[in-house]
């Protein structure tokens, strides 16, 4: 005889079943509503702005410590109209682009070589492992002696700042290619050249774009160090100069401007990577 009531009462109290509680806010890869994502973006932008406004307009801190948003915008308007700030933006973008392009070419090539060949890994690993820990700042005196104080020096500082990160991250991406994906090419008649150019390069291409997107922010970090070296223009130069005259409003505007440029680059590179790799997994959205 089947006695459902008995068996149920026998099981239910001894093993209380636990299920995953549904959650929208804390969802982990289970989909997320668009409106909530936009709302959270808005809130995360609004809170610091509101705090800033309250603290500065409320007169809680002296204007020298933290100027009001209006002051910052006025300072920005003045720099744009009267101090030719766009020229500084142009010059800084040029330095970052030059240094970063160089770091991308050298770093990606080095990373691919290190990830692909044991021999290249052995050749580069000691250099990459040690130099990566040396602060670029400490090389500045040497760079000035070696290449002077012209544009080369600034490009070189940015290059040195990011090239090894590019190399290490690309080398890691190569190592994530499954062995069998490479072996298939061999069993189809491919040689090492084919494997390098037709398997390893396309397989790592999305990761290379991701790496560059992450590391371009590093290039902007090193820009300010680079423009410490006898610069006469540039956003970093403007920040340093404004700091000397205690113009915190100008400092803040330049910092915000760098942030904005970074945001644009980030979205641009994301869109580029979506357009170039329609075949890649959806997890990167």
Partner 1 sequence: MPQPDSAPLSFMPSASEPLSAVHPPKLAVQAVGKTYVTRGKPLVVLDEISFELAAREFVCLVGASGCGKSTLLNIVAGLVPPTTGEVQVDGMAVLGPGADRGMVFQGYTLYPWLTVAQNIAFGMQLRKLPKAEQRDRTAYYLNVVGLTAFAQAYPKQLSGGMKQRVAIARALANEPEVLLMDEPFGALDAQTKEQMQQFLLNLWAQTHTTVLMITHDVEEAIFLSQRVYVMGSHPGRLTHQVSVPLPAARDLDIKLSPDFIAVKREVLHALRQEH
206 or 236, CB closer to partner 1? Answer: 206
85 or 173, CB closer to partner 1? Answer: 173
**What's the Cα-to-Cα distance from 269 to each of 40, 107, 140, 185, rounded to whole Å?**
23, 18, 30, 30
For residue 179, the minimal CB distance to partner 1 (Å) is 9
For residue 172, the minimal CB distance to partner 1 (Å) is 19
Measuring CA to CA, which residue among 150, 265, 135, 161 is closest to residue 223?
161
132 or 198, CB closer to partner 1? Answer: 198
For residue 215, the minimal CB distance to partner 1 (Å) is 23
Token digits of residue 45: 């932008």
For residues 67 and 53, give the distance between their C-alpha atoms in angstroms, rounded to a whole number.
Answer: 9
30 or 183, CB closer to partner 1? Answer: 183
For residue 208, the minimal CB distance to partner 1 (Å) is 13
For residue 72, the minimal CB distance to partner 1 (Å) is 46
Q: Please give, one letter per residue, the 3-state secondary structure of 202-225.
A: HHHHHHHHHHHHHHHHHHHHHHHH
For residues 171 and 132, give the distance between their C-alpha atoms in angstroms, rounded to a whole number.
Answer: 14
For residue 272, the minimal CB distance to partner 1 (Å) is 16
136 or 200, CB closer to partner 1? Answer: 200
80 or 203, CB closer to partner 1? Answer: 203
74 or 277, CB closer to partner 1? Answer: 277
Q: Please give, one letter per residue, the 3-state secondary structure of 156-214.
A: HHHHHHHHHHHHHHHHHHHHCCCHHHHHHHHHCCCCHHHHHHHHHHHHHHHHHHHHHHH
For residues 251 and 237, give the distance between their C-alpha atoms in angstroms, rounded to a whole number.
Answer: 10
Contact residues toward partner 1 (CB under 8 A) are 178, 180-181, 183-190, 194, 198-199, 202-203, 205, 277-282
For residue 187, the minimal CB distance to partner 1 (Å) is 4
For residue 110, the minimal CB distance to partner 1 (Å) is 23
The DSSP element (H or E) to which 100 belongs, if any, is helix 85-116
145 or 275, CB closer to partner 1? Answer: 275
Token digits of residue 2: 């089947």
**What's the Cα-to-Cα distance from 277 to each of 58, 166, 200, 213, 282, rounded to whole Å?**
50, 20, 15, 15, 11
Q: CB atoms < 10 A from the CB of 70, how many?
A: 12
């Amino acid at each position: 005889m089947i006695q459902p009531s008995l068996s149920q009462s026998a099981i239910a109290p001894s093993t209380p079943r636990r299920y995953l509680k549904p959650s929208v806010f804390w969802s982990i890869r289970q989909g997320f509503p668009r409106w909530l994502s936009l709302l959270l973006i808005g809130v995360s932008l609004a809170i610091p702005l509101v705090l800033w406004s309250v603290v500065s307009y409320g007169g809680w801190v002296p204007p020298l410590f933290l100027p009001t948003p209006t002051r910052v915008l006025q300072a920005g308007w003045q720099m744009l109209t009267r101090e030719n700030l766009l020229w500084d933006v142009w010059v800084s973008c040029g330095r970052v682009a030059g240094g970063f392009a160089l770091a991308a070419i050298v770093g990606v090539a080095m990373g691919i070589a290190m990830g692909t060949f044991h021999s290249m890994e052995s050749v580069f690993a000691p250099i990459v492992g040690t130099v990566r820990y040396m602060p670029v700042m400490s090389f500045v005196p040497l760079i000035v002696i070696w290449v002077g104080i012209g544009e080369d020096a600034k490009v070189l500082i940015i290059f040195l700042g990011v090239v090894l990160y590019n190399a290490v991250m690309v080398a890691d991406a190569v190592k994530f290619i499954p062995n069998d994906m490479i072996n298939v090419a061999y069993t189809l008649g491919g040689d090492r050249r084919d494997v390098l150019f037709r398997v390893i390069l396309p397989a790592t291409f999305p990761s290379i774009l991701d790496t560059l997107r992450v590391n371009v922010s590093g290039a902007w970090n090193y820009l300010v160090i680079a423009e410490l070296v006898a610069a006469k223009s540039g956003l970093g130069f403007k920040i340093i100069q404004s700091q000397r005259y205690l113009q915190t409003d100008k400092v803040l505007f330049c910092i915000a401007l760098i942030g904005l440029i970074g945001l644009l680059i980030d979205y641009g590179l994301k869109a580029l990577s979506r357009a170039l790799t329609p075949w890649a997994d959806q997890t990167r959205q």
